[in-house]
Amino acid sequence: MPDGTQALMDARTGSPARPIAHAEVEVLIIGTGFSGIGLATMLRRSGRHSFLMLERAWSIGGTWRDNTYPGAACDIQSHLYSYSFRPNPEWSHLYATQAEILAYLQQISDEEELAPHIVFGAEVLEANWDDERRRWIVKTDSGEYVAKALVSAAGHLSDPTLPDIPGLDRFGGKLFHSARWDSSHRWEQQRVGVIGTGASAIQIVPELAKSAAQVTVFQRTAPYIVPRKEYEYSKAEQRMFARLPGTAQAIRDDLFWDNEARFPQRRGVPAFIDQITKVSLAHLEAQVADPDLRERLTPHYAIGCKRILISNDYYPALCQANVELNTDGIERITPGAVETRTGREIDLDLLVVATGFEATDLPIAHRIVGRDNHLLSDHWSDGGRAFACTTVTRFPNFFVMLGPNTGLGAGSMIYMVETQIAYICEAIDYLLERDADIEPDPEAEEEYVESIHARSVGSVWLSGGCHSWYVHPGSGRLTALWPDFMSQFRAENGHFNPEHYLVSVANT
């Protein structure tokens, strides 16, 4: 097995031996990314201390711990991509880097005293609802945990996916996925290949182009790219945000409504979609002079059907003499090269696989078993479905964060996370105060899922003529994204309402 593949399979960091533990708590949370840390903070602030977070790695941070590739940064503005209940006056730039976001999460974990609640190195192997005990029994590789309520905060961009390309496993050079970057590997002066041209690849390529001998970017589908507004906050501004939090809040509000105003693009409203298409194509024209390269970089689907990327340095990197955009298609991978469909062999020392994540068939769903041995991945065989995007029929006292239909084409996932936190905290209060078990009425779930589908019909995601992980390949339905305004998500899903639930209480 090449060492790259090995690196992909390895646990996130070292794995110190630990005793097998057992514990019973009110709430178990799987994961310590933005969803888990945020929910834990609010549980603790509301006086609930009986909870544990199960984390398979050895540090917190989720996707912001895992994605350490050169150039890793968020493409949503920092003052919006942060919790409203933990504003950070010290954001250095309009868009934060991975390291800055991870430090922000770590600081919250420290200051909110979450460490005693985290079990590191505890990968959930199976979570079973026990109808007699009316508890979730969660087996991990470091012990068994029991809880009244279970929250999956495992994320949808957490398990890398490898492309199904013949020979990938026989590549003899260095190979790793963008989300498992091996920082010990020196790629300077090497011949590097990058498979994929998504949000990760377009951040990686300009960094590689600075000092690799040769970079070959293997593109299957051209992305739309728009300019990235750069802005560094001055020390004076940061002091102002700290002393007058209302000024940072005003920025946050502006950013929120700016993003919200982009939603009509995704509905394909002509005036909106034409405007953003022009912006993107003008960016390409301004940055790429070579007509052949420009043609190959021109997308042939409706903008927004795939994520609109932001970058000022990707196109210029592709114009460098040491960088090639290859659009021939990959035939196979040999021990030393990528062979294209035109029969050309491109020799490589390093192959970076930036092909995204298992986002349509979430691996965690194969490990969660509800009432009557019902497996979550079976319930979701046609794509994720949940009432209020959060609860699932036949899965009592179970909540999923950033699961079905919670992704965004434009906007901050942290807003979605905070909405779900409020919903879940209210639901947990409800069920713990009554010692009740709750699950959504199947009819309510069905009605909700249909209302989401009705809203997604006609959107660029379904009608834009592209292939993306937003749409479930089996059902053809939009299962990853929320097909409405962010504010509408909060209006619908900001509060728990027991009316839509089947509620059972012990001895009744």
199 vs 350, beta carbon nearer ligand NA7? 199
β-bridge pairing 124-130 and 368-369: parallel
Closest contact distance (angstroms) between CB of 360 and ligand NA7 is 10
Establish if 163 lies at the interface with ligand NA7 (CB under 6 A).
yes
The CA distance from 182 to 173, in Å, is 13
Q: Name which position in 102, 157, 194, 348 contacts ligand NA7 (CB under 6 A).
A: 157
Among 121, 196, 268, 383, binds ligand NA7 (CB under 6 A): 196
CB of 10 to ligand NA7, least distance (A): 19
Q: In the complex with ligand NA7, which residue's Cβ is closer, 216 or 355?
A: 355
Cβ nearer to ligand NA7, comparing 201 with 462: 201
Per-position x/- string for 443-472, each x denoting binding to ligand NA7 as judged by CB under 6 A, each - no binding: ------------------------x-x---
Minimum CB separation of residue 203 from ligand NA7 in Å reads 8
Q: Which of positions 410-439 make contact with ligand NA7 (CB under 6 A)? A: none
Q: Which of 71, 198, 304, 483 binds ligand NA7 (CB under 6 A)?
A: 198
Residue nearest to ligand NA7 (CB): 198
Please, which of residues 174-193 interact with ligand NA7 by CB under 6 A? Answer: 178
* Cα 478 from chain centroid (whole Å): 16
Query: What are the CA-CA distances from residue 290 to residues 215, 293, 296, 312, 314 (Å)?
Result: 18, 5, 10, 17, 15
Q: How far apart are CA 282 and CA 502, in angstroms?
A: 54
Q: Which is nearer to ligand NA7, 2 or 121 (CB)?
A: 2
- Smaller CB distance to ligand NA7: residue 129 or 470? 470
Q: Which of 117, 118, 135, 137 is nearest to 127 (CA)?
A: 137
Q: Smallest Cα–Cα separation from 106: which of 166, 33, 176?
A: 33
Region binding ligand NA7 by CB under 6 A among candidate stretches 12-20, 41-49, 196-204, 232-240: 196-204
Q: Which long-range contacts (CB under 8 A, 24 or more apart) does 328-336 make?
A: 329/220, 330/165, 330/195, 330/218, 331/166, 332/165, 332/166, 332/167, 333/165, 333/166, 333/167, 333/168, 333/170, 333/171, 334/167, 334/170, 334/171, 335/170, 335/171, 335/172, 336/171, 336/172, 336/173
Contacts to ligand NA7 from residues 203-262, by CB under 6 A: 218, 220-221
Per-residue x/- mask for ligand NA7, residues 343 to 382, rule CB under 6 A?
-----------xxx--------------------------
DSSP string computed for 5-53: HHHHHS-SS-------EEEEEEEEEE--SHHHHHHHHHHHHTT---EEE
* Residue of 138, 147, 199, 438 interacting with ligand NA7 (CB under 6 A): 199
Backbone angles phi, psi at 503, to 5 degrees: -120, 125
Torsion of Cα atoms, 20 then 365 then 155 then 459, to 10°: 180
307 is a site residue for ligand NA7 (CB under 6 A): yes
Q: Measured between alpha carbons, how far is residue 201 from residues 71, 100, 318, 435 in Å? A: 10, 20, 12, 48
Q: Which of 43, 53, 195, 376 binds ligand NA7 (CB under 6 A)?
A: 195
Does residue 482 bind ligand NA7 (CB under 6 A)? no
If binding means CB under 6 A, how many residues of this protein chain bind ligand NA7? Answer: 22
Residues that bind ligand NA7 (CB under 6 A): 157, 163, 165, 178, 195-201, 218, 220-221, 306-307, 330, 354-356, 467, 469
